[in-house]
């Protein structure tokens, strides 16, 4: 039976959504095509009408989720600025929370999958690189806005340092979740480190 375009688009969106959640929860190698298809309400065979492989799906799911995260950061930063709050502190504080630490299914894909993707074959590393560039770009723009006298290269380096501190802090906090005190300390220490990455001028 022929499926109309609207239904095909809905099926593809369901596959992407479920794949992103399952990958973040269990890792790229911890979930297969059949399980993703079932979670999306589709047959295993229907999957291949949308993606040639699990790697292709993972690249789109990972890259897409990071780009969406970057856009949410832009909106959050703009709102903070409009309300007289520090956009960078708002982004750091919103990322390094206990709630985010505990939200594997819909948390940051970079923290959940970054180390695994670094060892993967194309097109996954390219998708990760594009997503990291988008997220760091938001931080870089905010640093440049707050410190217009800084050279672009300094803003870029500071944004990468911030993102590294934020991402690493979240990973460490998750690894230490069985020790709540040290896990919380990891979040607060990483937040302080991320904000210190921004040069004063």
pLDDT of residue 7: 86
> What tokens appear for 22 in the block?
């399952």
DSSP helix/strand/coil, 86 = coil
List, for the chain, all residue ranges whose pLDDT scores fall below the cut of 70.
1-3, 201
List the one residue out of 124, 120, 3 whose CA is nearest residue 65: 124
List the one residue out of 90, 58, 50 whose CA is nearest residue 195: 90
For residue 29, the 8-state DSSP code is G
pLDDT of residue 5: 83
Is the Cα dihedral 43, 46, 52, 56 positive or negative? Answer: negative
For residue 179, the 8-state DSSP code is S
pLDDT of residue 49: 86
pLDDT of residue 3: 61
CA distances from 62 to 6, 18, 116 (A): 23, 12, 12
| Residue 48 backbone dihedrals phi, psi, to 5 degrees | -75, -5
Which pTM does this prediction carry? Answer: 0.90
pLDDT of residue 6: 87
Burial of 149 (0-12, 13-18, 19+ CB in 10 A): exposed
Any idea of the CA torsion for 112, 113, 114, 119, to the nearest 10 degrees? 150
Q: Which residue has the tokens 């047959």?
A: 43
pLDDT of residue 14: 93
């Amino acid at each position: 039976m022929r499926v109309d375009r609207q239904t095909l688009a809905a099926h593809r969106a369901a596959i992407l959504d479920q794949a992103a959640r399952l990958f973040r929860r269990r890792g790229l190698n911890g979930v297969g095509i059949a399980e993703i298809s079932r979670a999306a309400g589709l047959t295993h065979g229907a999957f291949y009408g949308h993606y040639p492989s699990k790697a292709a799906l993972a690249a789109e799911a990972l890259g897409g989720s990071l780009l969406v995260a970057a856009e949410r950061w832009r909106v959050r930063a703009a709102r903070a600025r409009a309300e007289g709050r520090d956009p960078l502190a708002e982004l750091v504080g919103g990322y390094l929370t206990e709630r985010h630490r505990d939200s594997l299914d819909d948390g940051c894909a970079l923290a959940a999958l970054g180390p695994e993707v670094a060892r993967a074959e194309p097109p996954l590393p390219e998708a990760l690189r594009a997503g990291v560039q988008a997220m760091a770009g938001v931080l870089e723009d905010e640093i440049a806005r707050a410190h217009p006298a800084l050279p672009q290269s300094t803003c870029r380096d500071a944004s990468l340092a911030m993102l590294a501190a934020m991402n690493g802090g979240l990973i460490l906090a998750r690894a230490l979740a069985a020790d709540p005190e040290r896990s919380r300390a990891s979040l607060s220490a990483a937040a302080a480190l991320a904000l210190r990455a921004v040069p004063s001028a």
